[in-house]
Structure 1
Amino acid sequence: MRDLLGHFRTTVFGPEDLGVVKGGPGGRRRWLDDLLADVHPRNHLLSTDLDRILRQRNALLKQARGRLTDDVAMTLDVWDAKLGEVGGNLAAARREILGALEPLVGDFLGAVSGGTSDISMAYCDEWSAEGLVESLGHARADDVRRGISTVGPHRDDVMIRMDGLPTRTHSSQGEQRSLALAMRLAGHRLVVDRTGTDPVVLLDDVFSELDDDRVRALVDILPVTQSVITTAGTVPDGVEAGSVLRLADGVFS
């Protein structure tokens, strides 16, 4: 699978994307990490290395059974140094790409919704002020007691605000869906700009909660290369498809 990274890129939007906006931090971290991997496969190594280090560190914490012995402390020093390097690099990459995405998300949201909402996106952590290794040291006793790593990029989040209010709690489902779509389209544009390649766009049931005006606006801003759209309803007026496949009773026609 790793060999395929960077060779076949896709931009996929489906109903589950709503969770990136209204769900927990994990979905937003995955959104950033997937984009980082699309921009360059080496970024994927940061995520996999972080996961490996966390597995090893957490295994050590569980084996300690709440006792911070000298041997446990010495081994934690090793893993904390590794986590500090890899985690710091991953968080820096996330912050950089988020800064590039923010204006694009605002532009695409305006195009899809027809509105002029102000979008801000901030990377949130609890460790950067003093450094990751230092924060791990301060959390060590609690980590040993709980048997899990409580500090690091694996617990970071992205705060998204629309007109100053958190979209997770203060936006309607329609606004959240439009924002999730804008985030996918912004990611697509960023991948095109940074790699020179145009991923295939797959939009699953994207028309279901958009009125005709928003549908036409969406179609107008879709990439000129290959886009595949599925819908359980009818194709809105004014939308022309290069080809149409219909699925009925398990048969394509």
Structure 2
Amino acid sequence: MVKDMYIESIELNNYRNYRKLKVEFGKNTNILYGNNAQGKTNILESIYMAATTKSHRGTKDRDIIRIGEDESHIRLFLRKRDVSHKIDMHLRKSKNKGVAIDGIAIRRATELYGLLNVIFFSPEDLSIIKNGPAERRRFMDLELCQISRLYYQNLASYNKILNQRNNLLKQIYYNKSLIDTLDVWNIQLVDYGSKIIKERKNFIDMMNDIICDIHSRLTGGREKLEIVYEYNVNENNFEDVLREKLETDLKYSSTQAGPHRDDISFLINGIDARKYGSQGQQRTVALSLKMAEIKLVKKIISDNPILLLDDVMSELDTDRRNALIDEIKDIQTIITCTGYDEFIKEQVIINNVYSVVNGTATRVRTEES
């Protein structure tokens, strides 16, 4: 049964171009409008940070803190299952971030995951199909980390072991006797890597169960879409491949095999959309991907995720925009755009409208449902 989770408000101090800001949100659609480079995306980023401890841009904490300041604060208030919660996040230039839930400090990011599920959709996502494999791995990892604490732990451990193994490969170049210690890292890399591969496979299988019908509707039944997980190694042969590629690894001083080199492909009627799809087809695939992501998260957490749309509507044609709007009618959505008028005629309940200008957000309209 879908429950009612939504963000009530967010407060920022010394966050990017905001010295001090408070924005309140309604349960349905909330609009942040203004010219480019005024700080609209920064508000969405802060929400994503509060939910995941990470920037959707991959930005380091010290670069998020307002210029000239040493620290930044995010305070997000949400309601979930009729209970209010507060997420406090303290970003510091010279130390790790501090996070507290309802006033109680947490030690690990995994303690935060699952409290607030958000899906971020930006114009960059429209080109995820034709971008490099790193973008598609990032798509899988960002969503899987939110819906599986164990995946986050396995991924963090894998990346740590991978870095240590790569450092050892560089040292072996100067000291050949160190090669005997490589097996210790290989065992751990295979252990964590195999778990990542299994979860990614399962994630793609679940996405395929949903995305085919969505894409068929978007294309009037003309196209059948399938996501294919292109794993670099599978969990059964990972250890063997590491041994086979040892000379290559030593030559390049980096690990050439593993899930850090995975990719996914998108087949439209059996044809690879990354290579042969038109721009319109690629955009429709990206939209299908995000809509399937919404449905999958709903299914897994038995709740509605929060949807953050960063200037996406203007990138979609009328049919695609209407399909997305129909999908988000029962979801709290926070939208950024350059013009408010374009949403007046859309069939959504608009709760709040804010004008964002140079680090300020002024509420100009409220329509409570």
The answer to whether 1:207 aligns with 2:313 is yes
Look up the equivalent residue of 1:13 and give its one-letter code: F
Select which of 174, 179, 189 maps to 2:280: 174
In structure 1, the partner of 2:223 is 117
Counterpart Cα distance in 2 of 1:19 and 1:5: 27
Cα gap change, 1:45/1:249 in structure 2, threshold over 3 Å: closer, same or farther? closer
Stretch moving more, 190-199 or 90-99: 190-199
Counterpart Cα distance in 2 of 1:140 and 1:51: 19
SS of residue matched to 1:117: coil
Task: Indicate the percent of aligned positions where both proteins have the same amino acid.
Answer: 30
In structure 2, the partner of 1:34 is 142
Cα gap change, 1:240/1:223 in structure 2, threshold over 3 Å: closer, same or farther? closer
Following superposition, the deviation at residue 90 of structure 1 comes to 0.4
Following superposition, the deviation at residue 109 of structure 1 comes to 2.4
Q: For residues 15-164 of structure 1, what are the structure 2 equivalents within 5 Å?
A: 15-65=123-173, 69=176, 71-128=177-234, 131-164=237-270
Following superposition, the deviation at residue 7 of structure 1 comes to 1.1
Look up the equivalent residue of 2:159 and give its one-letter code: D
The answer to whether the 8 Å contact 1:105/1:182 transfers is yes
Look up the equivalent residue of 1:125 and give its one-letter code: Y
SS of residue matched to 1:60: helix
In structure 2, the partner of 1:191 is 297
Q: Deviations over 1:222-250 (max 9, x none)?
A: 25131122222412734333224152654
Cα gap change, 1:192/1:141 in structure 2, threshold over 3 Å: closer, same or farther? same
Look up the equivalent residue of 1:11 and give its one-letter code: I
The answer to whether the 8 Å contact 2:215/2:224 transfers is no
Stretch moving more, 141-150 or 16-25: 16-25
Cα gap change, 1:236/1:162 in structure 2, threshold over 3 Å: closer, same or farther? farther
Q: TM-score, structure 1 length as denominator?
A: 0.90
Stretch moving more, 133-142 or 169-178: 169-178
Q: TM-score, structure 2 length as denominator?
A: 0.63
Give the alignment's Cα RMSD to 1 decimal. 2.1
Following superposition, the deviation at residue 130 of structure 1 comes to 6.1
Cα gap change, 1:40/1:227 in structure 2, threshold over 3 Å: closer, same or farther? same
Select which of 5, 8, 11 maps to 2:119: 11
Cα gap change, 1:101/1:66 in structure 2, threshold over 3 Å: closer, same or farther? farther
In structure 2, the partner of 1:232 is 338
Structure with the higher strand share, 1 or 2: 2
Stretch moving more, 205-214 or 153-162: 205-214
Mark the runs of 5 or more structure 2 residues left unpaired by the alignment.
Answer: 1-52, 54-108, 365-369
